[in-house]
Amino acid sequence: MTEETIFSKIIRQEIPTPLLYQDDLVSAFRDIAPRVDSHILIVPNKLIPTINDVSQEDELTLGRMITVAKKLAKEEGIDESGYRLIINCNSDGGQEVYHIHMHLLGGQPLGAMLSV
């Protein structure tokens, strides 16, 4: 069985995290421990644990995550300066919360793509 994470409670607003965006497919809110000036998480409302678990029926949701990222980047005023979108998968990917989420990171130069 797939276990819910804290993100499901945020999506249902059972814990008080302000939502920056919500529709029938996705929700977005600020990361609790921002790594950069602007750090937003965009999540499917449906619990999908990892990218390994996505199916064809999720394609609309995954596409919506990108269009919402674009909209929020503009609202944050970082669309022109630039930003990075990241989805981590499993332990080597650095995934901590097993409910797919896209990190929207920006507001400052982000440097090299990754450090290992």
Only one residue has tokens 């990171």, namely: 105
Nearest to 76 by CA among 20, 22, 23, 26: 20
Q: By CB under 6 A, what part of segment 84-113 binds ligand 5GP?
A: 88, 94-97
Q: Which is nearer to ligand 5GP, 9 or 70 (CB)?
A: 9
> CA 28, CA 43: separation in Å to the nearest integer?
6
Which residue of the set 39, 99, 101, 103 is catalytic? 101
> CA 98, CA 80: separation in Å to the nearest integer?
31
Q: Which of 32, 59, 70, 90 binds ligand 5GP (CB under 6 A)?
A: 32
The residue number with the shortest CB distance to ligand 5GP is 32
Query: At its nearest, how many Å lie between ligand 5GP and the CB of residue 30?
Result: 6
31 touches ligand 5GP by CB under 6 A: yes
17 touches ligand 5GP by CB under 6 A: yes
The torsion angles phi and psi of 86, rounded to 5 degrees, stand at: -135, 135
Which helix (H) or strand (E) segment holds residue 3: the answer is none
Q: Is 13 helix (H, G, I), strand (E, B) or coil?
A: coil
Q: Is position 101 annotated as part of the catalytic site?
A: yes
Binding site for ligand 5GP (CB under 6 A): 6, 17, 29-33, 41, 88, 94-97
Instruction: Tell me the catalytic residues.
Output: 101
